[in-house]
Structure 1
Amino acid sequence: MTKRKTLFITGASSGIGAATARVAVAAGWNVGLMARSADKLDALARELGDSSLAVAGDATDLAAQEDAIARVAKHFGRVDAAFANAGMGLDTPGTEAGDPEEWRRMIDLNIMALLYTTRAALPELRKTKGQLVLTGSVAGKLHIAGSIYGATKWFVQGYAGNMAQEMREWGGRCTLIAPGMVDTPFFSEPKPDKLKPEDIANAVVFALSQPAHAAIPEIVVMPTG
């Protein structure tokens, strides 16, 4: 019997992260779940059962991510993939009108937390020749007037390609998932005609399911509407 692989997910309590946990477990994976909302995380872990482990914590804290990865690796015996998914946008867009403190929080989550996931996970991923998955955005592929959020996703776009080059040296893979607009709690108002979190979750699990000789460096998912 093949041992179940393990996926670590940040931003796992809702939206794309929670949907990915559900799709991954249905596909035969164990999942380690990290988010700040302990109540939501515990509820998701109860739903998913023994194939999941909830580790509440702040993704912008490197030590918290290192602890979470270590606990997941000890609990399941391995970490085969890490999904750096936690992220946020801005309530007040623009540079002149924007809030510098909000910029800092966004940069800490969209960029630093993603780097922390990578740093914390790489020692375990080397053991399994595993895979790193990063949540980018179509906003990181286009120039959008004055978008600071989009600029953080340009970082993710570039970093994903750089990590793919580094990880291939030891048999690992890195995949960027670049969604268009997704109907998640990320937005203050529902977006019923846009993508669903499950659409992105399916893309993540598709990338993870490829044989070792096949790398998918990027998946762009757009709403048809």
Structure 2
Amino acid sequence: MADSIVDAVVLITGAGQGIGADVARKLVARGARVALVDRVADTVDALAAELGGASAAFVADVSDEAAITAAVAAAAEHFGRLDVVVANAGVMDPSATVAQTTSKQFARLLEVNVLGVFHTVHAALPYLAESRGYVLCVSSVAGLVPVPTIASYVASKHAVDGFARSLRIELAPTGIAVGVAYFGVIDTPMAHNAIAHVADIWAAMPGPIGRPAPVDAAGKAIVEGIARRSSSVYAPSWLAGALATTRGAAGIYEKVSGLHPAVRALVRGKGNN
């Protein structure tokens, strides 16, 4: 059976380091071509140099709608099409209670984590419609369950989860598939910085909960999710079972709603077929 990733054109935001960079390396190793988008030119340019002709770097801050729209258009022009978009870019502030968080901090986190996903997906939809492609929005286990001291991040990831699952229903008639990635604590600089002053609390958590999963686990999960056009992606893998009860009924609703004639008529009426 042919590998569906071979020759696929995949745009990844937040590609300069961490999960995004790991996914890019794995995809190129599988024969894909990757559009690397990041707001830091040095890191994304270095990765593009490492990966060679199968990649191209584009500098944009996802919170800047004009910049990310231009980057998506440039990537589609460079490669001739877009097959997959991984909306991975995100930020996480150091742990703090709501009382300790300023409105400016809260707003900036939403600008990147929520509006950034919207901007990326919105810009990519015309190209994905042509390829009947796949969107993967990176949320978190924090997108399904409450976590104290990171309420702003939790709110942003709940928003990403709700956005992506609603988008899935809208796009069901178009052939574009939508997935959501749910990750626990992944061993990245962002996660370490966020939990640094509560690391002892995390370490005291039972079993694997208190141990950050390696970046490789998240990278593998995303790549396999792309290959299968999965509706849900998990890392570490045990989260799939642990979160099953929070998803069950809603998952059935999403599938049925996407097939409803009224939904199909609405989407076609908006010119998305």
Query: 1:168 — aligned with what?
Result: 172
Higher alpha-carbon Rg: 2
Query: How far did residue 92 of structure 1 move?
Result: 5.1
- 1:70 alignment counterpart: 73
Q: Does 1:11 align with 2:25?
A: no
1:181 aligned to which of 153, 178, 185: 185
For residues 114 and 49 of structure 1, the distance between their equivalents in structure 2, rounded to whole angstroms, comes to 27
For residue 79 of structure 1, give the secondary structure of its aligned residue in structure 2: coil
Asked if structure 2 preserves the Cα contact closer than 8 Å seen for 1:181 and 1:223, the reply is no
- Give the letter for the 1:222 counterpart: P
2-structure distance, mates of 1:167, 1:201: 25
Instruction: Report 1:30-45 matches (<5 A).
Output: 30-45=33-48
State the 1:6 CA deviation: 0.5
Which residue of structure 2 lines up, in the alignment, with residue 94 of structure 1?
97
After superposition, the C-alpha distances for 1:141-194 in whole angstroms (9 at most, x for unaligned) are: 112236121111111111111111122111110110000000101122599942
Equivalent in the alignment of 2:31: 28
> How many residue pairs align between the two structures?
220
8 A Cα contact 2:18 2:189, kept in partner:
yes
Identity over the aligned pairs, expressed in percent?
Answer: 32
The question of whether the paired residues in 2 share the 8 Å contact of 1:45 and 1:52 is answered with: yes
Q: How does 1:134-173 map to 2 (within 5 A)?
A: 134-145=137-148, 147-173=151-177
The structure 1 residue matched to 2:227, chosen from 185, 209, 219, is 209
Q: 1:52 & 1:91 partners in 2: Cα distance?
A: 33
Greater shift in the superposed pair: 87-96 or 41-50: 87-96
In the alignment, what sits opposite 1:53? 56
Stretch of structure 1 that moved more, 2-11 or 168-177: 2-11
Matched, 1:198 2:216: yes
1:115 aligns with 2:118: yes
- 8 Å CA contact 1:62–1:116 kept in 2: the answer is yes
Higher normalized helix content (fraction of residues)? 2
What TM-score do you get using the length of structure 2 for normalisation? 0.76
Provide the rounded CA distance (Å) in 2 between the counterparts of 1:41 and 1:20. Answer: 13
Q: 1:6–1:32: 8 Å Cα contact kept in structure 2? A: yes
1:105 to 104, 108, 123: 108
- After superposition, the C-alpha distances for 1:43-102 in whole angstroms (9 at most, x for unaligned) are 100000000010112111111111111111111111001111111112252221112211
Question: CA-atom RMSD, angstroms?
Answer: 2.1
Query: Which of 225, 236, 255 is the matching residue for 1:222?
Result: 236
Amino acid corresponding to residue 162 of structure 1 in structure 2: S
Q: How many Å separate the matches in 1 of 2:51 and 2:236? A: 28
Q: Structure 1 length as normaliser, TM-score? A: 0.91
Q: Per-residue deviation at 1:216?
A: 2.0
Say which SS state the counterpart of residue 185 (structure 2) adopts.
coil
Amino acid at match of 1:155: A
Q: CA deviation at 1:200?
A: 1.1
Unaligned stretches of 5+ residues in structure 2: 204-209, 239-273
